[in-house]
Every structure is written in structure tokens, then in C-alpha cells.
Structure 1
């Protein structure tokens, strides 16, 4: 498949949507708030919330660092 900005954006959105769903399910399974999850991960509530929504405040697709994703994975015990 040839790379294109449109394809890249679609794939990015799909990955973020799957990550967001996993985060929400894990957070709800642990019966914790977004604020508690953010604290456990060592990220701001705003950062955590926009990743879990798969949307930034301006309506864009979040682009968290690998470090942020790993912190959230560890905090929520995601595989």
C-alpha cells in the first residue's frame, strides 16, 4: 500500500479509537475516574481525557508520545 496523508490520518484515527476504547474499558473495570487514572499514569487529566476520547479539544486526533502511552498502559494494566 502506498503512503498518503489521507491513509495515514485514517490509520492514526483507527489506532487512537482502539486505544481509547481499551483505556475506557480498563478504567471502568478498575472502577476509577479519569482523574485517578491520570494520576496513576503520571499525566495530566487533560492529556488523559483527550486520549481516552480520541479527540483533542480542537477536534484533532491526539498524538501522544510513546512514553505517555506506556505510562497509561502500565497504570491501567493493559496488554
Structure 2
């Protein structure tokens, strides 16, 4: 299956849903988008911008391992 994102005026929602309801569940599945989509999109774009302009901070595998071990130990109990 493929996924597309639609933006529409709220006054046509019932018409869109009526049209979509004519398809079977094998043909079409309506997926509700998370309300945090726009915030996540901005966060990802900010990270991409940091990578492109050279201001991103990178970690070595050893630093990552220490961070992960610390995080895991906090939640082990």
C-alpha cells in the first residue's frame, strides 16, 4: 500500500469520508495522523539544518555506549 497526506478544509471532510467509504478495507485504510506531526517535522528539519551547516554535534561509539548504559541503568529498577 502507499500512503499520502491530505490537507483539506474541514467543511468538505464529510464528502471526502463518504467517497473513501466506498472502498473496501483491503483497498483503503484511513490512518489518523499524530497531532505532533508538525512539531516533529520542525525538529527533524532543525537537525538537518545543523548537519548541513556543520554545527551538528556527533558522538563516538564509545560515548554512545556510555550514554546508553547510563540510560538503561536508570530504568532497570
User: Normalising by the residue count of structure 1, what TM-score does the alignment of the two structures yield?
Assistant: 0.29
Structure of greater relative contact order (alpha carbons < 8 Å, 6+ residues apart): 1
User: Normalising by the residue count of structure 2, what TM-score does the alignment of the two structures yield?
Assistant: 0.29
Computing the radius of gyration from Cα coordinates, the structure with the larger value is 2
